[in-house]
């Protein structure tokens, strides 16, 4: 979720929580990170979210945030364990970066191993703690960014261009749907499957796809509010979700799409709205 005003995620999380072991197979742990300014809180649980006491707290306790990344895990690479639970966090350029990945990267091991060997000699840091390809890919991304930009953070457009190149490189080695945020910018890469909806005035009633729960956003918002929600599969069944084309990188800022670029050689097909 990326918004222009601190917003709680209780409604969306109620449906999301169900997918962790109840309405979908992603039962191997879950996690959620909330940015509040530059600070971040990460809640992780290797238990399925549908029966996690921590998930229950998150569902009921309205934490207001402009950027939230949540993940439910189906373990494909790396055992079910706390250290393998997304989202992952690292600090770079004096900011926390949160990363969650969907997909498997069978061809990434060689690239990561070669890169790690070269970089070990320069002690550039960012080593995986667990044994998922996802955390490996996140660390590789951050090492590449630090090597490219040094100790000073790049401008937003330069970072977008770099992430696009790096996403092309990793994306050629497997499925690399990911979300990455520093609390201001939310990057979303669609390798195969991601969709988003932007909620803005006039707000309407939304109904969850995974549970019979509705909310009337008109009662909870001001006309200036804008909220983007990005998910592998739409979380609601009566809103206009846009399917992102496979092989595309997106940048969300203040609840709207700011940049978009293809990450496959052939230009991706035109965006299609699924339902409107």
64 binding its own copies? (CB under 8 A): no
Only one of the segments 7-15, 86-94, 223-231, 240-248 lies at the binding site for its own copies (rule: CB under 8 A); that segment is 86-94
* Contact criterion met (CB below 8 Å) for 276 and 236: no
Q: Is 70 in the site for its own copies (CB under 8 A)?
A: no
Please choose, from the candidates 34, 30, 28, the residue with its C-alpha nearest in 3D space to the C-alpha of residue 98.
34
Residue 129 Cβ vs its own copies, minimum distance, rounded to whole Å: 5
> Which CB sits closer to its own copies, 139 or 209?
139
124 near its own copies, judged by CB under 8 A: yes
- Residues in Cβ contact with 110 at an 8 Å cutoff, skipping those fewer than 6 apart: none
| Cβ nearer to its own copies, comparing 138 with 196 | 138
Q: Which is nearer to its own copies, 87 or 234 (CB)?
A: 87
Give the residue among 120, 160, 165 at the shortest CA–CA distance from 143.
120
Taking the C-alpha atoms of residue 29 and residue 27, their distance in angstroms, rounded to an integer, is 6
Binding-site member from 10, 22, 75, 89 for its own copies (CB under 8 A): 89
The size of the interface with its own copies (CB under 8 A), counted in residues, is 44
* Residue 24 interacts with its own copies (CB under 8 A): yes or no: no
With a CB cutoff of 8 Å and minimum separation 6, the contacts of 170 are 105, 108, 111, 137, 140, 141, 176
Pairing of strands 226-231, 2-7: antiparallel
Binding of its own copies at residue 81 (CB under 8 A)? yes
- The phi-psi region of residue 57 (left if phi > 0; otherwise alpha if psi is between -120 and 50; otherwise beta) is alpha
Q: Which is nearer to its own copies, 143 or 199 (CB)?
A: 143
Instruction: Write the binding mask 162 to 201 for its own copies: x where contact by CB under 8 A, - elsewhere.
Output: ----------------------------------------
Binding mask 38-57 for its own copies (x = CB under 8 A): xxxxxxxxx------xx--x
Rounded CA separation 209/202 (Å): 21
Spatial separation of the C-alpha atoms in residues 95 and 139, rounded to whole Å: 15
For binding to its own copies (CB under 8 A), which residues are involved?
A: 36-46, 53-54, 57, 61, 81-85, 89-96, 119-130, 146, 150-152
């Amino acid at each position: 979720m990326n918004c222009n005003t601190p917003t709680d995620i209780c409604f969306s999380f109620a449906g999301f929580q169900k997918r962790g072991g109840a309405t979908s197979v992603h039962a191997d742990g879950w996690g959620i990170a909330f940015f509040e300014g530059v600070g971040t809180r990460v809640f992780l649980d290797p238990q399925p979210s549908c029966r996690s006491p921590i998930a229950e707290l998150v569902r009921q306790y309205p934490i207001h945030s402009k950027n939230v990344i949540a993940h439910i895990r189906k373990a494909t690479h790396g055992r079910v364990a706390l250290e393998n639970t997304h989202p992952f966090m690292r600090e770079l350029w004096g900011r926390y970066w949160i990363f969650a990945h969907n997909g498997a990267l069978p061809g990434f091991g060689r690239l990561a191993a070669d890169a790690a060997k070269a970089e070990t000699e320069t002690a550039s840091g960012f080593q995986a703690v667990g044994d998922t390809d996802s955390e490996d890919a996140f660390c590789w991304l951050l090492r590449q960014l630090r090597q490219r930009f040094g100790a000073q953070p790049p401008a937003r457009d330069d970072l977008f261009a770099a992430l696009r190149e790096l996403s092309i490189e990793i994306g050629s080695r497997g499925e690399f749907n990911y979300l990455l945020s520093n609390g201001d910018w939310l990057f979303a890469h669609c390798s195969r499957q991601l969709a988003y909806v932007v909620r803005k005035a006039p707000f309407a009633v939304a109904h969850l796809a995974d549970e019979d729960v509705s909310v009337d956003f008109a009662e909870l918002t001001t006309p200036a509010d804008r909220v983007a929600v990005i998910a592998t599969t739409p979380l609601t069944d009566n809103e206009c979700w846009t399917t992102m084309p496979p092989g595309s990188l997106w940048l969300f800022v203040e609840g709207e799409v700011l940049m978009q670029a293809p990450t496959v050689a052939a230009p991706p097909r035109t965006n299609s709205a699924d339902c409107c």
